[in-house]
Amino acid sequence: MRRDTAGATGFAGAMVATMVVVTVLSAYMAAAPYLLHYEGDPLIGFDTGRLTGTVEDGAFVPGYDDYLHSYLEVHGHRGVEVRAMLVGTDAPEVVTTVGGMDGEVTWKRVSALVDRDDGGKQIVVFGVGVCV
């Protein structure tokens, strides 16, 4: 193979060669934030909007059991646990666990408003733990 000393390859050849490098580089740039973020926080894919339920007779009734099962199937984690607490009441904490939690667990706290059976809306604080 002889070097193109005359520059005959021109714009098209240079573009093809550069495209390979830039494509790999841009793919890395696009994927790096997701990969870094995902590895640092296994709860990134958890949709907190699915943490719903109702308050009936002063007790919280969770409505996210199906979502926890599908979340585990999609993300392949070992287990997930949600602890729901009605703040400011004597109601016991409602714990829902799917899968196993014997391992490294990452916890986060979120809150949401849930409907009461008397027409009101009450704040529930959720502790969400994921075991990877």
Partner 1 sequence: MNRRGLVSLVDAMLFLLIVSLALSVPLYLDAGGDPVDADPSTMLDDLCGARMRMSDLYPGGDGSLLPLTDMLAMDVVTGTDAALSYAGSYLDEVTGVSPYRLTLGYGDLSVVIGDEVPEPVSGASAEVPVTAGGRLRMTLVIG
CA distance 35 to 37: 5
CB atoms within 10 A of CB 122: 19
Closer residue to partner 1, CB minimum distance, 4 or 66: 4
Pick from 53, 71, 77, 122: which binds partner 1 (CB under 8 A)?
122
Of the candidate residues 92, 100, 103, 120, the single one contacting partner 1 (CB under 8 A)? 120
Q: Is 11 in the site for partner 1 (CB under 8 A)?
A: yes
d(CA 53, CA 82): 12
* CA atoms of 126 and 25, how far apart (whole Å): 40
Q: Which residues bind partner 1 (CB under 8 A)?
A: 4-11, 14-15, 18-19, 22-23, 25-26, 29-31, 33-34, 37, 41, 43-49, 85, 87-89, 108-113, 116, 118-123, 125, 128
